[in-house]
Structure formats: structure tokens, C-alpha cells
Amino acid sequence: MHADSRITVVVPCWNDADMLDHCLTALARQTRPADRILVVDNGSADESIDVARRHGADVVCEPLRGIWPAAARGYDEARADADIIARLDADSRPHPDWIARLESAFATDASLGVLTGGAEFYGAGPVVRYLGEHWYIGGGHFWIRAVLGIPLVFGSNFAMRRRVWERVRDRVDRTNPRIHDDLDLTIRLRASDGVRYDPNLRMPVSSRPLVTQRGLWRRVWRVVPTFAASWPEGARWHRDDDGRDDDRRASSDGWSADGEDLAPGFGR
């Protein structure tokens, strides 16, 4: 990635003005500022739009309610002028070096297409934080890697090259509000897309989804309809065949899939 490559940060938001204010404040303190911050309002009835504009973010509105419709709209808008599309959520509070680490990783590895990391939960006790980081997010990384052969892309903490989104944007179930957008995106990715996980790229996120059993199980249960919506693309046998085709296409385009899912220089 060249020094003048542009990084756009996409932030889906629905009725989260207070959280969004903290998120955009953290983005304003980045050692490497974003070239563009794009807030996708999903029909908020609070002051979310005003907060975004006060921080100088661009705002687009997605009327179809749901995280996938909002996120996909943001990625579509970002691809107009971004080389790297980064994503976090309104309740994310990125560390000051978050964008700088993304830029360094993509500049270091030309085969890197998607970089994702883990979570640090705030707003709850140590037990909830531990379960969130090691069981909810950590378990998701373990099992999705075992099933799909690539790391789980964590929707609150990842970035992808524009060309990756252009390849999958018509394959994801982008209008479905009842599935996990990040898992659906992961299912559509292949090893040749260069998906990497950096355990040291951590994102502080709210523990709100974890503090009640209902909220937690609702999120866990959404794994089932997400795989169902993508069947048979999520099946390992289908991915293996498709992956070989992707690898052949990648070799002709200069891409290489090396089978290593840790970003070079990270997590060592």
C-alpha cells in the first residue's frame, strides 16, 4: 500500500448518539487520522446524525433497518475513493494507534486483503469481560477458523482492501437484517483473499450484548440462520472447491494464498 493510500472508516449507527460521540472522539485522536469517516445512520430517532456532523464525519442514511444493510451501504459509499475500508461500530473506542496499525499491516504485506483483531469489553465486571473476550469472541475465532478455514472477521474491528469488497458485495446477503453481517462476510471470503488475524489488534467495545442471557443467546443463535442463508456456500466441501478456483484466479492476478492467517509481524 502506498503512502498516499486512502483509509475510510465506516461506522454503522442506530440510536447510539452518546456511544457515537465517544467513538468519533477516539477516532479524532488517532496518530494516523482517517482520510474519511463515514457514519451510516440506520433511521436513528436520537441525535446520532447531529453528533456525526459535529465531529466532521460524512453521513449517509440507510432506510432498511439492520446492521448488514447499514454496513453494506457504508462499504459501497467508501469504495468510491478509499483504498482501505475500515470498520468499527458506534460503541467502539479505538486505541490511538488503531488506524496506524492497519496502515502498517497493509503496507507490509501486499497479499493482505482483510485484517481483523479481537475485543476488549468495557462497561461490565471482570467475569463478563473475560467471558466476552475468551468465550464469545475467542470461541468464535476458534470455531469459525475450524469450520471455514479462515479467521472470523470481527465486525467491530477489521479493515479490507476495496477490491475484496468489490469481489464479494454481490455475494453477501446484504439485505438480510436477521443474520450476523461479519460472519456472512467471512463465509463469502476465501483464503486467496488474504484474511489475517492479529491478536494484538484489539478494540474496546461495549459489553451491552453480554450482560443479559437473552442478549447473549440472541447473538449466538444468529449463527444458525447466518449459515442457513449462505448454504451451501458455507459448506467446507463447497469452499474447498471454490477456494481452488479462487487460488487459480489469484495466481493470475498476482495474489497468493499462503495458508498463514497471522498478519506478518503481528502476534508473534
Exposure letters 194-214 (e unless 16+ CB within 10 A, then b): bbbbbeebbbbbbbebbeeee
Q: Each residue of 106-152: pLDDT tens digit?
A: 999 999 999 999 999 998 677 766 766 776 677 777 888 888 999 99
Mean confidence (pLDDT) of the chain: 84
Helix (H, G, I), strand (E, B) or coil at 264: coil
Q: How far is CA 157 from CA 35, 121, 253, in A?
A: 17, 13, 28
Cα-Cα-Cα-Cα torsion 175, 77, 165, 227, nearest 10 degrees, comes to: -20
Q: How many residues does the chain have?
A: 268
* pTM assigned to the model: 0.85
Q: For 166-212, what is each residue's pLDDT tens digit?
A: 999 999 999 999 899 999 999 999 999 999 999 999 999 998 765 55
Is pLDDT above 90 for 159?
Answer: yes
| Domains (range + CATH), the chain | 7-253 (3.90.550.10)
Work out the average pLDDT over 6-27. 98
Residue with cell 433497518: 65
The pLDDT of residue 53 is above 80: yes
CA distance 44 to 14: 5
